[in-house]
Amino acid sequence: MAVNLFDSAYALETAIRQSEEYIQLKQAYNEVNADPQAKQMFEQFRQMQMNLQQKQMMGQNISEQEVQQAQSTVALVQQNQKIARMMEAEQRMSMIIGELNKIIMKPLEDLYGNL
């Protein structure tokens, strides 16, 4: 009997949305967005992250000054309790997504071998 992979994917999406980790992340995200100072600080942090990632993808070098600025921004952002909680929840969610990805890719690894 053939399985509809999209139905399974949508069921997984629902399960993720109902997971404790996602619920905690969503609550933390809402707390950050409800605090204008935390929201602005986090938006600036995300913009800096995206700019650095874009430079990397384009093969551009990231200067030592940019690295130092990024490190100081991370340290500053992590001092905000709301943002720190959100980042911790985001990290837990990211780990789960990584584990799910390993499970999803298992049939291809079994077929082709671990590349």
Boundaries of every domain in the chain:
5-112
pLDDT of residue 115: 59
Torsion angle in degrees (nearest 10) through CA of 83, 86, 87, 92: 170
CA distance 38 to 54: 24
> What single DSSP character describes residue 58?
T
Cβ distance 61 to 67 under 8 Å? no
pLDDT of residue 10: 97
Instruction: Look at the block and give the residue holding tokens 């605090």.
Output: 35
End-to-end CA, the chain: 30
- Residue type at 54 in one-letter notation: Q
CA distance 16 to 26: 12
**Number of other CB atoms surrounding residue 84 within 10 Å:** 14
pLDDT of residue 1: 66
As assigned by CATH, the class of the 5-112 domain is mainly alpha
Q: What is the pLDDT along the chain (115 residues), one digit of tens a residue?
A: 678 999 999 999 999 999 999 999 999 999 999 999 999 999 999 999 898 899 888 898 888 888 888 888 888 898 999 999 999 999 999 999 999 999 999 999 999 987 5
Which of 22, 40, 13, 36 is closest to 86 using CA atoms?
22
